[in-house]
Amino acid sequence: DTGVSQDPRHKITKRGQNVTFRCDPISEHNRLYWYRQTLGQGPEFLTYFQNEAQLEKSRLLSDRFSAERPKGSFSTLEIQRTEQGDSAMYLCASSLKLAGGTEAFFGQGTRLTVV
């Protein structure tokens, strides 16, 4: 297994355009998380899925953001009508739900620049 994979690695878009990012988790992991990281800050939680169910969404996730995980495998994060404030690194992580929790494995992220 090659770990958590994110695509694309970099995206430059014009303000007002829609963008979609993809995350492929480690194959046996049933939990998938999205985080956002801005320069000089730690990652901030956006949302997570257990299998195909989206179980929690942060207040940071405005109506312009939507995430899906069809069939409980890969996930997509779409941002509609992008704004300059959306410029950030978007990180995906996956884990296997076990009693007591377990390690989250992170992808290398998608860096979004809105111009």
Partner 1 sequence: GDSVTQMEGPVTLSEEAFLTINCTYTATGYPSLFWYVQYPGEGLQLLLKATKADDKGSNKGFEATYRKETTSFHLEKGSVQVSDSAVYFCALSDQGFQKLVFGTGTRLLVSP
Return residues touching partner 1 (CB under 8 A).
Answer: 4, 31, 33, 35, 40-45, 48, 55-56, 91, 93, 95, 97, 100-109
The minimum distance between CB 5 and partner 1, in angstroms, equals 10
Nearer to partner 1, 14 or 100 (CB): 100
The minimum distance between CB 102 and partner 1, in angstroms, equals 7
Nearer to partner 1, 8 or 101 (CB): 101
Identity of residue 29: H
* Distance, first Cα to last Cα, the chain: 36
Nearer to partner 1, 34 or 82 (CB): 34
Exposure of 46 in the CB half-sphere (CA atoms within 13 A): 27
The minimum distance between CB 71 and partner 1, in angstroms, equals 22
What does R_g of the chain's alpha carbons equal in angstroms? Answer: 14
The minimum distance between CB 14 and partner 1, in angstroms, equals 27
- Burial of 71-94, coded b for 16+ CB within 10 Å and e otherwise, reads ebebbebebeebeeebbbbbbbbb
